[in-house]
Structure 1
Amino acid sequence: MTKRIFLLLLISVEVILCQPSESLNSSEIKIALEKLNTLGSVLYIAAHPDDENTSFLSYFNYAKHLRTGYLSLTRGDGGQNLIGDEQGDLLGVIRTQELLQARSIDGAEQFFTRAVDFGYSKTPEETLRKWGKEEILSDVVWVIRKFKPDVIVTRFPTNGVGYARSSYSLSITCG
């Protein structure tokens, strides 16, 4: 019995260690090497997929060689779709893929919370009530603890609609 377990363990380790590693092109290797000389990280937090500033993320990732991340509280499933028929969850899938593609270009890491984009909201109180403030707050705390940013950037401090003001409020509470 112990021989079988040992053999199974040995095969498992061999399979895991023999997985092909991701290959980088020369420009990706150059950027990775330059980042070794720089310590620092920036986490950008906003409510929706279209609230991020891709130029900002690109600048800090490629020009300043900082580790960058974007936390979108929602996946954009309650927004408008001007180019197709997808709504709700299907729109959220499209917006999620758009964000992941954008991160492959600007080099930032992408994070989400469990918050559902339920449509327009006028106040942060309404937004946080529908989201479940404690659950979303715990998601934001988890991302901050995982990413360990040196700087947290938010948008819409006091103006804007419920989602934007809620993302600002949660960022300040956690940061």
Structure 2
Amino acid sequence: MSNASLRDQVARLATTDPEAAYERAKRIDAPWYRTQALSHVAKHMRPDAKSIKVLKESLQTAKSQDDPYAVCASSAWPIAVLIQRAQYKLAAAEVEEAFSLSTRIENRGSRVQALLLLLQAAFALGLKYQTRIIRGIPRYVEPGPQLASAARYKKRAPNACSTRPRAS
């Protein structure tokens, strides 16, 4: 069975039997999928010290990966559950760490994707974190050929891009 299938199986099982799901999640080889599976388990556990322990395990699993994109992006799952569990201080610290790590993601598109996952997870932390993540995105995205093409088109056919009604 693939790691993705195991993660999906854990997610379904976690809704009815989080303990059994936890045991199954620990057997997932790929850290990316194990991080997500452990987050599903913690989400469905009683909100106590054990669920926080599972979330910390999920974060450690995310951080065990060598690829900065994989670490930053997969951290979004446990961060979202930390926020649902009102563990704002820990979630904020993890957002800061993931955001800092995002600067090491070489591919701009991957960096943007990781930051968007982080933004979605951390949105409930408030404007400070939303703004910081959003402001981080434009630094990494350069206008591509599509934007240059649109600008050339607008110069050649200004009326086609106007929102004003045409004169008859």
Choose between structure 1 and 2: higher helix proportion. 2
Normalised by the length of structure 1, the TM-score is 0.27
TM-score normalised per structure 2: 0.28
Q: Which has the higher contact order (CA 8 A, sep 6+)?
A: 1
